[in-house]
Amino acid sequence: MELFLTLVSGIAWTLVYAEAIRLGLRQRTYAMPVAALALNFAWESTYAVNDVLGGVSAQGVVNIVWALADLVIVSTFFRFGRAELPEFVTRPLFAVWGVLVFGGAFAVQWLFLAHFGAHDASRYSAFLQNLLMSGLFIALFADRAGTRGQSLVIAVAKWLGTLAPTVLFGVIEDAPFILGLGILCGVFDLAYIALLLHHRTRTRTAPPGAPGLTR
């Protein structure tokens, strides 16, 4: 069961990243909220290295795949992200801000690791940043006034990719804190899915040129 749930999570999140890369390159944007992207990249890079040093495992292989995929998404942020910001944010200022965000994310992951140890830190930080991401995707929809850089594929795959480790760590390993965070992630993820479905219905039924229906 552990291997099955690990593979479900690995496949689902890999689908999230593949779709985010596709949308980012196609629509010339970044398809994951930057704070969540930074924390994800830092988590996956950190624990990919940690797992490789500790021996080959299914989760270690998954982490390497995720880190490489995230690296491409990071490149779309630095390539297209400046256009998402006000004009006073110059290219050099944007670069400095990006470095600070990603540097801060690595610092957060290493602080978790130093305080809790690899076993607990990997779980606590993963679920906390996952909950942050769930909320930020809804905020991204509101900020962009539509689904630019977003899709139901990302939304559903993220929900499934979080549900599997919630069952594994929260239920099977009997960790109430993880279970609670996983349930909260599920609530936000399902709300985001419902939001995208509602938007799709509105865009299909609204007359051409109707306001507030940016695709």
pLDDT of residue 208: 56
pLDDT of the chain along its 215 residues, tens only?
888 998 899 899 999 999 999 999 999 999 999 999 999 999 999 998 887 776 667 777 888 888 999 999 999 999 999 998 988 999 999 999 999 999 999 999 999 999 999 989 999 999 999 999 999 999 999 999 999 999 999 999 999 999 999 999 999 999 999 999 999 999 999 999 999 999 998 887 766 555 444 44
Tokens 């480790």 locate to 165
pLDDT of residue 210: 53
pLDDT of residue 41: 95
32 φ/ψ sector (left φ>0, alpha ψ -120 to 50, else beta): beta
Q: Which of 130, 128, 134, 143 is nearest to 194 (CA)?
A: 134
pLDDT of residue 49: 87
pLDDT of residue 63: 84
CB neighbourhood size of 170 (10 A): 21
**Token digits for 89?**
């944010």
pLDDT of residue 214: 45
Torsion of CA 173, 176, 177, 183, to 10 degrees: 100
Which residues is 31 bridged to in the sheet?
none
CB neighbourhood size of 40 (10 A): 27
**Token digits for 91?**
């290219």
Q: Which of 185, 127, 152 is nearest to 31 (CA)?
A: 152
CA atoms within a 13 Å half-sphere pointing along the CA-CB vector of 39: 19
pTM of the prediction? 0.90
- Angle subtended at Cα 138 by Cα 145 and Cα 155, rounded to the nearest 5 degrees: 105
Q: Please, what is the angle between helix 58-80 and helix 34-54, to 10°?
A: 150
Q: Which of 31, 3, 13 is nearest to 162 (CA)?
A: 13
DSSP class of 214: B
Which residues, including other chains, have CB under 8 Å from residue 17's CB and lie 6 or more apart? 66, 69, 70, 72, 73
